[in-house]
Amino acid sequence: MTKTKTPRATENRNPQISTRERIVLALDVDDDREALAIVAELKDSVGLFKVGHQLFTAYGPDIVRRIIGMGGRVFLDLKYHDIPNTVAKASAEAVKLGVSIFNVHALGGLDMMKASVEATNEAAHARNLPVPLMLAVTILTSMDEANLRKELKITRSLKREVSHLARLAQRAGMHGVVASPQEISMLRKAVRGQFVILTPGVRPAWATKDDQKRIMTPNEAVAAGADYLVVGRPVLKAQDRKAAVEKIVEEINQSKSI
């Protein structure tokens, strides 16, 4: 019997990006002028800007075009979850919009994720555009095991379900997953080859926790095997936002976890 090799925690991480490029700033603000002012200030400091439901619902694809027009890269966090045909078409639109990362719900199933991957690749190749990073959300971190069991009738453990959905996403051709800091090490063992992990819920030791509960510092998350870190309030609420980003970058570099 051949023994399968267990990957080291960080072996299948995307190695080609700098610390700065790993930082995704969540543009969780309600005003487009404020969002664009932050982009102008930090576009050379962080890797990407996360546009979520709030900003997208208020200002539409135009806000994404404007950020990209200013030289910012965008993670479109709309978590597509619909029938395969609809998600495929939305994915193609995300490519045309020029986003660098977008995501879908793994609970949409294998066919839905495969349709998204296929449509993304086709749209990118047809227009000679880069293929965005396609990530899957496994189980929302707002759900716990009791919710899974009682409401969704999913009886296996949360960890096993998250690992299963990550493997399903990988089988569909997705590039990676969105995962909480606590899931990183487990996922690094559950998936094979290069697989991207993007992690929210990180807090530098010097920042307040806000409403985040199970947090890790950015360096701990990178050491555990995260490729990208989503940071919002520690930077958005800082007196000097640029300095806050620099401090995070420095802390990760000093921890030599990359």
Among the listed residues 46, 197, 222, 230, the single contact to ligand C5P using CB under 6 A: 230
**By C-alpha distance, which of 165, 168, 202 is closest to 157?**
165
Residue 136: is it exposed, middle or buried by C-beta count within 10 angstroms (0-12/13-18/19+)?
Answer: buried
The verdict on 176 binding ligand C5P (CB under 6 A) reads no
* Residue 26 found at the interface with ligand C5P (CB under 6 A): yes
Which is catalytic among the residues 79, 159, 209, 237?
A: 79
133 bridge partner residues: 101
Closest CA to 13 of 151, 137, 191, 142: 191
Give min distance, CB of 236 to ligand C5P, in A: 7
CB of 172 to ligand C5P, least distance (A): 21
The reply on whether position 52 binds ligand C5P by CB under 6 A is yes
d(CA 258, CA 254): 10
Q: Is 153 a catalytic residue?
A: no
Q: Can residue 232 be called a binding residue for ligand C5P (CB under 6 A)?
A: yes
Q: Report, in Å, the least distance between residue 212 CB and ligand C5P.
A: 5
Give yes or no for residue 217 binding ligand C5P (CB under 6 A).
no
Q: Give the nearest distance from C-beta 177 to ligand C5P in angstroms.
A: 11
Q: Single out the residue of 171, 136, 143, 173 nearest to residue 159, CA to CA.
A: 143
Q: Check binding of 212 to ligand C5P (CB under 6 A).
A: yes
Is residue 20 within the footprint of ligand C5P (CB under 6 A)? no
Q: Which of 98, 201, 218, 225 binds ligand C5P (CB under 6 A)?
A: 201
Cα 203–Cα 209–Cα 214 angle in degrees, nearest 5: 75
The answer for 201, left when phi > 0, alpha when psi is -120 to 50, beta otherwise, is left
Q: Whole-angstrom Cα distance, residue 33 to residue 176?
A: 32
Tokens (6 digits) for 217:
């510092």
Taking residues 132 to 171 in sequence order and writing x for each that binds ligand C5P by CB under 6 A, - otherwise, the string is ---------x------------------------------
User: Which of 210, 240, 246, 250 is the binder for ligand C5P (CB under 6 A)?
Assistant: 210
Compare residues 170 and 182 and give the one whose CB is closer to ligand C5P: 182
Nearest to 191 by CA among 230, 119, 135: 135
Residues that bind ligand C5P (CB under 6 A): 26, 28, 52, 141, 180, 200-201, 210, 212, 230-233
